[in-house]
Amino acid sequence: MHTFTLTSQSVEQTQALGRRLGALLQPGDVVALVGQLGAGKTYLVKGIAAGLGVADDRQVNSPTFVLVNEYTGRVPVHHLDVYRLGEPEELTAIGFDEMCTSGGVVIVEWADRVREVMPERTVWVEITVTGAEDREMAFLMNDAEVLGRIGSLVG
């Protein structure tokens, strides 16, 4: 497992980091977000969506009750919130496998709840609250090609 850690000291920095990450993502990439309530997962998604070319970040919000939001950018963006799912298999039932192979990018909030059904090439981002607005983001991935692209966030 390849890992690196970045820090954010504000919502604006979290969104800027997300924009940089989104610019590096390619069709077929899956990003799994893990962190407590209020950690900044949705703010990171707003930035990722902007980096993927989604024009209006006001349309980007956590799909807690609808489970999936889709946005139009340079590639389709599928944004899932799996907090309310009872079983990981329910992710398959809502078309997760098809989303992963549709030529877009998939972002999953609360992904630790469905860890066993996430693809091998998933980019895991574990967000830890370290202060009022301070966040530590640990990036974990298995795939060397993905690391080659995403690892440039460190530089």
Residue 69 lies in a domain: yes
Question: What pLDDT, on the 0 to 100 scale, is given for residue 115?
Answer: 93
What CATH number is given to the structural domain containing 54? 3.40.50.300
For 25-71, where are the alpha helices, taking DSSP H only?
41-51
CB 64 within 8 Å of CB 81: yes
Q: Which residues have a Cβ under 8 Å from the Cβ of 47 and sit 6 or more positions away?
A: 14, 15, 16, 17, 18, 19, 20, 21, 22, 57
Query: Token pair 């966040």 is at which residue?
Result: 135
Query: Quick one: DSSP state of residue 96?
Result: H
64: containing domain: 13-114
Residue 100 lies in a domain: yes
CB 23 within 8 Å of CB 150: no
Residue 87 lies in a domain: yes
pLDDT in tens, 77-89: 999 999 988 888 8
Amino acid residing at 141? M
Residue 49 lies in a domain: yes
Q: Assess whether pLDDT exceeds 70 at residue 155.
A: no
Residue 146 lies in a domain: no
Domain count of the fold of the chain: 1
Amino acid residing at 31? V
